Amino acid sequence: MKTKITFVVVGLVAAIVLGSAGSARAATWTQKTNMPTARWNLSTSVVDGKIYAIGGLGGLKKVEEYNPATDTWTEKADMPTGRMWLAASAVDGKIYAIGGRTTWHGGATLATVEEYNPATDTWTQKADMPAPRDGLSASVVNGKIYAIGGSGGGVDVSTVEEYDPATDTWTTKADMPTARWVVSTRVVNGKIYAVGGLTTSAGLPTVEEYDPVTDTWTKKADMPVPGASRTSVVDKKIYAFGGTPRRGGAPVSTLLQYEPATDTWTAKDDMPVRMLGMRASTVDGRIYVIGGSSTPWPYSPFLSTVWEYDTGLRVASPDINGDGVIDGADISIMVDHWHMDEPSCDIFPAPFGDGIVDVQDLVLISEYLLKEVEDPTIVAHWALDEAEGDIAFDSAGINDAFVIGDPLWLPDGGLVDGALQLDGVDDYIITAPVLNPASGPFSVLAWIKGGAAGQTVISEPGGVNWLSTDPLEGSLMTELTSPGRGATSLMSQTNITDGNWHRIGLVWDGSYRTLYVDSIAVAQDIQDGLTDSANGLYIGTGKAMEPGTYFSGFIDDVRIYNRVVIP
């Protein structure tokens, strides 16, 4: 009789597996309200969640403010000096427009620096750059602006100069190894990445990393496609949009993602249109690609379009440790990461934070204390609180699981309300596909008690064991690896089969896989992506359902998130 029941249920699940889609969010493009003034080779900067479009072809002085929250544009005070190919960066709520060129053909290259204060809608003249430059880029680290590359007097330069807004002074820094024009720079973890650019005859795939602390440059992996892309950052990843592969070349629609942690490039789906000479800025984890041109030389007419790109990577949540309750434990984790760029604790402004854990995040989390919160990042939650039956209900979605064998329901026997006791012989749970590990950051967590060496808590049928114990010591491990030939399992030295309750977890942040036991990271390494998974999950048995891999003990409160959780 038991065999017959098992056959029927597995057959039903197989049908569900074939018809189910993964729950990871896909990247999306959305066209937003047009900018009032079409322009090419403008600059954009972000202050207080609003994007300021400044200058552009024809020596424009025009400044327009875009509010992504309301999808509206507002005209602002003109910049005193009209220019294109300028750089702009924001420090302490003020924008600094640096260098540029008065007109396209025959115009003057400028050393001019002007400060814009959005709070008062006013401009102030500042100290000039040491030498004129156009087609440069500027990035901010620790309150100082680094003006990098460009062209001076028709010659591409590798110049790097640091501007300190507090003292209105310039300091010469170590040259960039590769001289280039219309280079794009972005900051990740306090380092500046100079991406692509043009020489007088060709596009460059070159990527170089600058460390302002040591004033040194390091060569990084080249872009797959050379040229003058425009970049922005989400979740410590750099996105390079469109551009052109050579000086005077036609626009392209290429979209690439660079991950500094692994020094790797990934080709993403193309942009909706070909584009060059635009700018890209990030607000609340979404990238806004503004202006530019979609036509070949001479690139007219220019664009006023605004495209919003949602990477689909992550959403912040006040339930930092993923236990379903917002309490002092979450606040403690936040305080441990104070003034750091830790995405899992950076919950304000929703949904992606602002790049630093600070008092705004603390105030927001305090508003949720002891309240019920709907967490959009939890894709499956099997509380295992049922009293009987052969269904383990998913309280977070549609991934109800089938209970196979004859396990014992213990409504009051878990660490979090009820739990399921498995016999280590033929008891397990099977689910449809829930999440593809290759799609982006995720976390899988569970409470367990008991078990033995070589047994498995969560696995992928016919794939790998996600959370299991090593066959000798009973320590937590995972076989979920990158698809490379040299990929290996991640092993901890922490035994979880001692008969005590333990909360175990595997967290993947897009670069690092980390194993947790009782809120402690017990093993971690870097992986170049994770293997695709299109199958469902087993809870309580190994990937091949082999004898000895069935779990003998209690399993409670299994959760899967499409974000990083710090247990």
Higher pLDDT, 531 or 144: 144
Per-residue pLDDT tens over the stretch 431-482: 988 888 877 789 999 999 999 999 999 999 999 999 999 999 999 999 999 8
Lowest mean pLDDT among 65-79, 154-168, 338-352: 338-352
What value does the mean pLDDT take over residues 355-359?
86
Cis omega (within 30 of 0) for bond into 301: yes
| Tokens at 462, concatenated | 């016919």
Identify whether the C-beta of residue 566 lies closer than 8 Å to the C-beta of residue 320. Answer: yes
How many angstroms separate the Cα of 364 from the Cα of each of 70, 314, 326, 377? 22, 18, 11, 18
Q: Cα–Cα–Cα angle for 255, 84, 260, nearest 5°?
A: 35
Of 136, 120, 125, the residue nearest 179 (C-alpha): 136
What type of residue is 192?
I
CATH number of the structural domain 313-376? 1.10.1330.10
How confident is the model at residue 201, as a pLDDT? Answer: 76
Please answer whether residues 409 and 474 qualify as being in contact, where contact means their C-beta atoms are separated by less than 8 angstroms: no
CA 148, CA 238: separation in Å to the nearest integer?
A: 17
Per-domain residue ranges for the chain?
A: 37-310, 313-376, 377-561
- Identify the band that residue 2 occupies on the pLDDT scale cut at 50, 70 and 90: very low
pLDDT at 314: 55
> Which residues touch 243 (CB under 8 Å, ≥6 apart)?
196, 203, 227, 228, 229, 230, 251, 252, 254, 275, 276
CA triple 90-95-98, angle to 5 deg = 100
> Mean pLDDT, to the nearest integer, of 51-71?
92
The mean pLDDT of 415-427, rounded to a whole number, is 95
Cβ count near 336 (within 10 Å): 12
pLDDT at 153: 83
What separation in angstroms does the CA of 244 have from each of 225, 422, 464? Answer: 10, 60, 42
SS3 state at 514: strand
Share of the chain above pLDDT 90, in %: 68
Residue 207 has pLDDT above 80, yes or no: yes
Cα angle value 100/239/513 (rounded, 5°): 140
Q: Express each pLDDT in 299-355 by its tens digit.
A: 889 999 999 998 865 557 888 998 888 888 999 999 999 998 888 888 887 656 677
Supply the mean pLDDT for the chain.
89
Tell me which fold the domain 377-561 belongs to: Jelly Rolls (2.60.120)
Q: Could you give the CA distance from residue 441 to residue 314 in angstroms, rounded to a whole number?
A: 7
Lowest mean pLDDT among 66-70, 137-141, 195-199: 66-70
CATH code for the domain defined by 37-310: 2.120.10.80
Which range scores top for mean pLDDT: 153-162, 242-251, 280-289, 395-404?
153-162
- The predicted-structure confidence for 491-509, as pLDDT tens digits, reads as follows 999 999 999 999 999 999 8
Please check whether the two domains, 37-310 and 377-561, share a CATH topology: no
